[in-house]
């Protein structure tokens, strides 16, 4: 089967937004390759050795490829995409050269060839990400294995923001916590939370492809009873400020300021929450998504957490650190830790 491969030469800063634009334009899959320069400060705490550049992409740049069915008019796709990429500058995101080209390739050239570069990777003291097609023996009894088959719709879980979130989860999960994973994607953070000792996880995503991928990876790790995957966002499912009078808001009476549920109402809420797999409010919320999205629902996350609860969030490029910090503080969070890897940032914040 033949596919059209559309290539965008851009910046690492713009890679998430351009990936979204490719999907919105109908891409059946997207791949992202960042600069592999040795000038990058790489995490070697778990024994990784970087003695050669991974590729010849200039520092700070990225190459994003989207794949479209053979019948699709690529001239139409480029005509739609080019102005939207250029428009990113108006939102403070530099797309760089933003060079766009395309060619026709055989499916085997992209659907499976990438797998040869995805090997088991130790991302924290206790967690290792292992592709399903690779053999791997744990180095010790405390090492936990995340089985992952991301397909072409999602990354391999080796992006710095994923590692930052997993390490933060490892630090804060003591055992028995209920967790919400917002923008779950492949489900990797939900699976990691369970392997670290969480009691249950509610994994949310608005993308039906993500929901399907997450459910498949949850099943690969035999965690269907512990992880509930739903096609939803935090606001519409849990009932934020603007949804308190909606059916979704009714399932969460504790979201109403000053509201004390009657026994019957509390029983009804518990019944509704049973379908979520967690009881609200929860102990931990984790979100690895775009900074521009993170700042839109910090108030909702605050309401979703117990007093003293923990919010772990990444997907934040270095130039958006102050933006996210401001939004967290405005919602009442106390920022407890800021972690960096390469050009990416993760926050761990506590509900006061």
3-class SS of residue 301 = helix
pLDDT at 233: 84
Average pLDDT for 132-157 = 82
CA-CA distance, 162 to 177, in Å (whole number)? 20
User: With 0-12 CB in 10 A as exposed, 13-18 as middle and 19+ as buried, what is 44?
Assistant: exposed
Comparing 269 with 336, the larger pLDDT belongs to 336
Strand 305-317 and strand 344-351: the pairing is: antiparallel
Q: Where are the beta strands (DSSP E) in the chain?
A: 2-11, 29-34, 61-69, 99-106, 121-122, 127-131, 144-148, 178-182, 200-205, 227-231, 282-288, 305-317, 333-341, 344-351
Q: What percent of the chain has pLDDT over 70?
A: 78
pLDDT at 41: 52
Which residues is 284 bridged to in the sheet? 179, 310
Confidence of residue 189 (pLDDT cuts 50, 70, 90): very high
Answer whether 0.75 is exceeded by the pTM. no
pLDDT at 91: 87
Q: What percent of the chain has pLDDT over 90?
A: 53
Q: What is the pLDDT of residues 238-295, one digit of tens each?
A: 654 443 343 333 333 333 333 333 333 343 344 345 588 999 999 999 999 988 889 9
Confidence of residue 304 (pLDDT cuts 50, 70, 90): very high
Mean pLDDT of the chain: 82
CA-CA distance, 151 to 203, in Å (whole number)? 18
pLDDT at 117: 66
Q: What is the pLDDT of residues 63-107, one digit of tens each?
A: 999 989 999 999 999 999 999 999 999 988 999 999 999 999 887
Average pLDDT for 187-195 = 96
pLDDT at 49: 36
Say which range, 34-43, 213-222, 240-249, 291-300, has the weakest mean pLDDT. Answer: 240-249
3-class SS of residue 351 = strand
Q: How many residues comprise the chain?
A: 352
**Of 124, 113, 136, nearest in space to 33 by CA:** 113
pLDDT at 239: 56
Average pLDDT for 223-242 = 78
Q: Which residue has the tokens 């979703």?
A: 304
205 has pLDDT over 60 = yes
Comparing 327 with 149, the larger pLDDT belongs to 327
């Amino acid at each position: 089967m033949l596919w059209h491969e559309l290539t965008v030469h851009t910046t690492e800063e713009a890679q998430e937004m351009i990936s979204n634009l490719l999907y919105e334009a109908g891409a059946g899959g997207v791949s992202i390759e960042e600069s592999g320069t040795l000038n990058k400060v790489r995490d070697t705490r778990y024994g990784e050795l970087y003695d050669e550049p991974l590729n010849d992409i200039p520092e700070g740049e990225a190459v994003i490829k989207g794949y479209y069915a053979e019948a699709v008019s690529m001239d139409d796709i480029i005509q739609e995409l080019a102005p939207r990429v250029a428009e990113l500058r108006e939102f403070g995101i530099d797309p760089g050269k933003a060079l766009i080209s395309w060619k026709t390739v055989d499916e085997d050239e992209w659907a499976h060839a990438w797998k040869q570069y995805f090997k088991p990777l130790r991302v924290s003291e206790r967690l290792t990400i292992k592709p399903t097609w690779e053999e791997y023996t744990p180095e010790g009894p405390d090492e936990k294995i995340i089985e992952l088959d991301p397909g072409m719709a999602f990354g391999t879980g080796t992006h710095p923001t994923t590692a930052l979130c997993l390490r933060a989860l490892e630090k804060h999960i003591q055992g028995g916590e209920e967790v919400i994973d917002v923008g779950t994607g492949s489900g990797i953070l939900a699976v990691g939370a369970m392997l670290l000792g969480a009691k249950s996880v509610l994994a949310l995503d608005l993308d039906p492809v993500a929901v399907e991928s997450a459910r498949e990876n949850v099943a690969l790790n035999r965690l269907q009873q512990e992880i509930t995957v739903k096609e939803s966002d935090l606001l519409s499912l849990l009932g934020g400020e603007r949804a308190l009078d909606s059916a979704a808001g009714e399932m969460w009476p504790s979201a109403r300021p000053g509201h004390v549920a009657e026994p019957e109402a509390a029983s009804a809420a518990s019944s509704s929450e049973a379908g979520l797999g967690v009881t609200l409010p929860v102990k931990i919320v984790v979100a690895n998504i775009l900074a521009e999205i993170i700042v839109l629902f910090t108030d909702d996350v605050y309401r979703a957490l117990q007093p003293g609860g923990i919010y772990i969030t990444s997907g934040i490029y270095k130039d958006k650190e102050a933006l996210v910090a401001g939004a967290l503080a405005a919602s009442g969070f106390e920022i407890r830790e800021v972690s960096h890897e390469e050009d990416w940032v993760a926050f761990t914040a506590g509900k006061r």
